[in-house]
Amino acid sequence: MSRIGKSPIAIPAGVTVEVKDAVITVKGKLGELSQEFSDVSVKVEEGQVIVERSSDQKEERSKHGLYRALINNMVVGVSEGFTKELELVGVGYRAANQGQKLDVALGFSHNIVLEVVPEVKVETVSEKGKNPIIKLTSHDKQLLGQVAAKIRGFRKPEPYKGKGVKFVGEELRRKAGKSA
């Protein structure tokens, strides 16, 4: 049995979960998310969501924990939300936003302007003497990770000086430079 798959998901107050055909819909104060599922059965009982599988076939076993984790992320997302923070490490690296437009200067000849999807809220923090930080918040964990990865992909941290766009708290593997 999947350890993750067999644990039930508690539904917090203010969140409604509906299962219709092979689609689960979760509604909460921060928004609404839906997910299709196959090879497993999803039941809503007594304030809990239970994901079960009918047999021990490989495909059903692999999807048991997956769909439980996806549904749990949906429930947590619509009730609390998710946040990711990116830090710009480097001289002259700047970030600013006007609404959903993110303007990032990363040492290229032109600034990079990214139109962020409306489901993800963007906020930039620039304090004197500290690296600029981009805060991304959303109720959809998958979409949030995708946007954060796209921003990080503009200038990945390099291993010698650590310059680039990195997640706050990310440990970088540093290399020693050439020895004289």
| The predicted structure's pLDDT at residue 54 | 87
Same fold for the pair 3-79 and 82-167: yes
Does the domain at 82-167 match CATH 3.90.930.12? Answer given as yes
Greatest Cα-to-Cα distance within the chain, rounded to the nearest angstrom: 69
> Domain residues of the chain, as ranges?
3-79, 82-167
Say what the pLDDT of residue 1 is: 55
Give residue 136's identity as a one-letter amino acid code.
Answer: L
pLDDT tens digits, the chain, 180 residues: what are they? 568 888 999 999 999 999 998 999 999 999 999 999 988 999 999 899 999 988 888 888 889 999 999 999 999 999 999 999 999 999 999 999 999 999 999 999 999 999 999 999 999 999 999 999 999 999 999 999 999 999 999 999 999 999 999 999 999 999 998 886
Q: Give CA–CA dist 96/101, Å, rounded.
A: 8
Instruction: Answer yes or no: are the C-beta atoms of 111 and 104 closer than 8 Å.
Output: yes
**Helices 58-79 and 141-153, interaxial angle, to 10°?**
90
The arrangement of secondary structure in 3-79, i.e. its CATH architecture, is Alpha-Beta Complex (3.90)
